[in-house]
Structure 1
């Protein structure tokens, strides 16, 4: 009898080991991806630039002045790059290794807090979810913070749950806790939360040691305190962060589970099924660990949300990576320790299969993970210049020139380009460049939407375009190119004031005039209001993710040189005709005092607007607001829409399938 039980136990351990190694192997493969296709994102180039100093003291002072993170990760990367260099693989490698080690730590914590069954199910999820995979080789504070907080949690577990007394666990607890504090302020917050929760577990005989360990972490962080105080006093959050709405919580769960109905349905089925089938026996087991796991997940997100709403926006998906494992612990905690090997194997394979499939197909991870601007801009521009004379090409790039230089050096090229980065090139400066340009081609990347619309006026033919995360890149031409795809517009309307009966337009026919010399028609607007275009947006676009371009020619009727003072205006209204969005461009920003026609441009990217989710329920109203009542002529009033960048923010947002 005992022999049979022993054989059964050994068989279970063997299957558990097999499943664990399967999860680890899948996790490693998904994290490594294609090792020959690596590219730095903007934040990684920021890391590179911030450690590119002659001394660690200079690195620390720079971080204090210009960054809002602790200095720990930067100091680590500074010394790492001194030894291994600054290539993509060299900088990314330690983060990839930490992500692989994190897989093992997640399994160990799940096993120690609950059971080997829970540990295996959790690591199956952690191996295949995009959230931890995305950050697995990104040289930023998130993967390093995850590794440090998991290491701290492991030592904490050995001391409090396993009641181990070895010095190595006390030392590891203090050092990994301090490393977490030096890494990121959200990992610092996690240290505090875990430390406080520890008082629910700590035994009387080690209470003083536990308090001393916490004090030791604070003492180790003391040299950084002046930097933290300076950053708090001089920081107002990240102004480019949006203030989160209550929908952030549900969207965060959807993001974790790939915005996939299949992935989320499987997760809910496992949670509810385990409660219904096994909950009667497991609900009262490991209660402290179960609800503590939920506490460790919820507290950071609540803190970030409340601080962002009432103080200054700080909350991003990446900041919540440190607490992700604890949601998964809670999620799988109702499965019993004695789950049959067959059931366990089926569940693990199902999790691996569904998550990997949705990672590749729904999230398109390997199509997007390296679609970032800097390498792409340099590689594509170099390739184009290899087949075209440089004197025939003008280049305007709206990305950090120092970051572009990293890839110019890597690709051994040094093409010259016009910089349009913080601030973007002014509208009038770009107009002057375009008006005087004699080149056949224009390359533009990451420039404002209205700037692009103007560039399309001077270089009307599309040679090539490419979209990625946080960028658009275009090669435009003055001449039509054979075998090249033309611009694709979902909607185009052009009012030349000759054919007035066009859908959407309201025009006073009595105000139309004809040029004496050319017989071209135009509109004479002497009052505040003139021609109006109105239409429901669902007639103009089949999707939410869209560019809207509006433009009009203006001419001031004056014997003296005078600049237009009106505003090209777009209003978006809901079904009750209430105004939900107003955008206008003042003519003085895009024109100069001179005779003749000048063109105004207004562009919207719906993905940047608060009305994004309701685009198709709105209607547009476009007009020229002549608030100074200048004697003004209008011509070529155009409205058009074109497909937006489907990859723009898809690192954390869902794709809009069409």
Structure 2
């Protein structure tokens, strides 16, 4: 066995060890549990119709495989994920084979980088379409390169075209972006086709299309859903740079180490016969990004970091080809050295076994259940904002440790629903948490208003659970609070009409559309999300038909509106009339939007939408220590 083969085996074995250990350490994620729940359909018809066509936005391939595999091994996370880990590990070998077409050093270096980067490691642990989609995309790429540049024998060309058709179809059945990727790869290959192999490429494409025909009705239904993938934002102008920074362990040191030899290699002479191959890899990575970027604006947003897994290995192979050009021809020290650096970056800088990299759902259930055991269930209420209660209670099924929720879903506009629910509670304790759903801090603030004392809490990645109490003796967590504005007790920095202020009350009516206004300077703590802002408004003599909105409008130092990811001015508004008319008191809390930086401004005022009458007794703004998210 040659030295290169020994090195490759070591790279693959370490890559397998990383993927297996990370898979064992991390529990099921939200997306995986969605797929697990949909395995409960017993008939093929129900599985396809309810578990895939209506219940999912992916092709049927992976869900069908998981159903068959679960009948053999059950739903244990380690065993369920094992085939996906193996797909991800096999992808290392395919990266090597494609890189080896350029040179042995390119193959080893690309395999080492791919094996040890955190991004492909994490995507390989999940029982989701990413690892198999990656495998079949790479397989398609390998056979396409062979057909285009390496083979002329008719028997070989026919076999290769058959494998291209099969691997394309498999990718199409796995993930829609993998579908788009292999389709783009096939079409872009026409730029390099010769007359003698054109018919084989056409045969491969037609074979894939014919094999996909049984799935067409499902695809047409899913892609015809109005609104598309509404939860994804449109990519911004520098999205690709953000992705590359993320994909290379978010490490400027690692990027610099790779960038320097890459730039040197770019200016070294290339083998003329490989120029077309390098151009093809360039097209496959940057071209599919451009297609995804355009589709995200003309149809529906489809770009997110995980789907770039299908094209990213071609970028890794491309840069590996240029990096290896800086070292002597027969010397493998550079691939070994860089592979070790990537491995160290992943282990030391990213801590792959940390819970930070996964949605923590099992620990959330265990913590909440233990608190329930410590406190009488009759004196305890449990509320969670989750995509499905099953995703939490899955972890208690074996021991019959099911949690009963008074509420399990809260959307942005549900603050009144949340207050109404809390109004009905007579228990002294409340467990409140969230998992894998955006849960604004005002929901915690409202709960904390009814249950003022924080007894315990645990925060995880994209999840958290809090034990709140009505009893002062239970207060174990004291939140730091600071009043930063209090009108009319202190009118400094407030802009208002002096004639409307009378005996510490401020009158708004048909002649006064806006309340007093303040321009708050954003502190480092606000920008870093270490504190949140709490607004407390009291009123008297309000019209029954009044319409009032609390407005928070961020501005930069030039007093220009700060824009969101889609280029629109950020404007946060909360309608106050229901609370003010019923209770003459309203409260609301926000985190600073992520686009707002230190020393930016927050313009804050109340908008009298229908120019009704109201007397404002007080507007108080506090900065409160953020233990929520």
Q: Does 1:638 align with 2:621?
A: yes
Q: Among residues 459, 462, 487, which one is paired with 1:470 in the alignment? A: 462
Distance 2:444 2:324 in 1: 59
Counterpart residue number, 1:317:
305
Distance 2:526 2:356 in 1: 27
Change (3 A) 1:554 1:565: farther
User: How far off is 1:301 after superposition?
Assistant: 0.8
User: How far off is 1:343 after superposition?
Assistant: 5.0
Residues 96, 110 of structure 2: 8 Å contact kept:
yes
Residues 149, 187 of structure 1: 8 Å contact kept:
yes
Q: Does 1:64 align with 2:85?
A: no
Q: Does 1:549 align with 2:533?
A: yes
User: How far off is 1:439 after superposition?
Assistant: 2.7
Q: Does 1:366 align with 2:348?
A: no
Q: Among residues 295, 305, 316, which one is paired with 1:328 in the alignment? A: 316
Change (3 A) 1:426 1:214: closer
User: How far off is 1:221 after superposition?
Assistant: 0.6
SS of 2:28's equivalent in the other structure is coil
Identify which range, 309-318 or 479-488, moves more after superposition. Answer: 479-488
Q: Deviations over 1:191-210 (max 9, x none)?
A: 22332344466565554344
User: How far off is 1:268 after superposition?
Assistant: 0.3
Q: Among residues 199, 223, 226, which one is paired with 1:232 in the alignment? A: 223
User: How far off is 1:339 after superposition?
Assistant: 5.0
Distance 1:393 1:496 in 2: 38
Residues 117, 335 of structure 1: 8 Å contact kept:
no
Q: Deviations over 1:362-388 (max 9, x none)?
A: 434332455424323211101212222
Residues 453, 549 of structure 1: 8 Å contact kept:
no
Identify which range, 296-305 or 458-467, moves more after superposition. Answer: 458-467
Q: Among residues 189, 214, 227, which one is paired with 2:180 in the alignment? A: 189
Distance 2:529 2:7 in 1: 42
Q: Among residues 381, 384, 396, which one is paired with 2:368 in the alignment? A: 381
Pairwise CA RMSD of aligned residues?
Answer: 3.1
Identify which range, 177-186 or 166-175, moves more after superposition. Answer: 166-175
Distance 1:615 1:333 in 2: 40
Identify which range, 116-125 or 36-45, moves more after superposition. Answer: 36-45
Change (3 A) 1:35 1:141: closer
Taking structure 2 as the reference length, what is the TM-score of the superposition?
0.88
Q: Does 1:54 align with 2:42?
A: yes
Q: Deviations over 1:31-78 (max 9, x none)?
A: 122554331111111211233211222222122234332211111112
Counterpart residue number, 1:530:
515
Matching of residues 556-595 of structure 1 within 5 Å: 556-557=540-541, 562=544, 565-580=547-562, 581-588=570-577, 590-591=578-579, 593-594=581-582
Residues 112, 335 of structure 2: 8 Å contact kept:
no
User: How far off is 1:542 after superposition?
Assistant: 6.2
Q: Among residues 414, 426, 429, which one is paired with 1:438 in the alignment? A: 426
SS of 2:544's equivalent in the other structure is coil
Q: Does 1:90 align with 2:79?
A: yes
Change (3 A) 1:132 1:46: same
Q: Among residues 624, 628, 634, which one is paired with 2:606 in the alignment? A: 624
User: How far off is 1:496 after superposition?
Assistant: 6.8
Distance 1:438 1:474 in 2: 18
Counterpart residue number, 2:593:
606
Matching of residues 212-223 of structure 1 within 5 Å: 212-223=203-214
User: How far off is 1:150 after superposition?
Assistant: 1.8
Residues 26, 358 of structure 2: 8 Å contact kept:
no
Residues 19, 345 of structure 1: 8 Å contact kept:
no
User: How far off is 1:260 after superposition?
Assistant: 1.1
Structure 2 residue runs without a partner (length 5+)? 563-569
Distance 1:213 1:415 in 2: 52
User: How far off is 1:404 after superposition?
Assistant: 2.3
Distance 1:456 1:82 in 2: 45
Distance 2:48 2:554 in 1: 47
Q: Deviations over 1:8-36 (max 9, x none)?
A: xx8xx32x233223322321222122554
Counterpart residue number, 1:180:
171
SS of 2:307's equivalent in the other structure is helix
Distance 2:457 2:303 in 1: 33
Counterpart residue number, 1:401:
389
Distance 1:487 1:360 in 2: 35
Structure 1 residue runs without a partner (length 5+)? 1-9, 515-520, 649-658
User: How far off is 1:641 after superposition?
Assistant: 5.0
User: How far off is 1:351 after superposition?
Assistant: 3.2
Change (3 A) 1:272 1:343: farther
Residues 16, 85 of structure 2: 8 Å contact kept:
no
SS of 2:75's equivalent in the other structure is coil
Distance 2:422 2:441 in 1: 16
Change (3 A) 1:433 1:217: closer
Q: Deviations over 1:159-193 (max 9, x none)?
A: 55443745765543332221111111221122223
Change (3 A) 1:496 1:481: farther
Residues 441, 475 of structure 1: 8 Å contact kept:
yes
Residues 495, 637 of structure 1: 8 Å contact kept:
yes
Change (3 A) 1:114 1:369: farther
Q: Does 1:79 align with 2:68?
A: yes
Counterpart residue number, 1:254:
245
User: How far off is 1:275 after superposition?
Assistant: 3.0
Q: Deviations over 1:521-556 (max 9, x none)?
A: 765556443333322113x62644455323223233
Counterpart residue number, 2:128:
140
Residues 257, 264 of structure 1: 8 Å contact kept:
yes
SS of 2:418's equivalent in the other structure is helix
Distance 2:326 2:301 in 1: 45
SS of 2:239's equivalent in the other structure is helix
Residues 146, 321 of structure 1: 8 Å contact kept:
yes
Distance 1:411 1:634 in 2: 54
Q: Deviations over 1:457-483 (max 9, x none)?
A: 222232333333333432223345679
Distance 2:72 2:206 in 1: 33
Counterpart residue number, 1:30:
18
Change (3 A) 1:141 1:422: farther
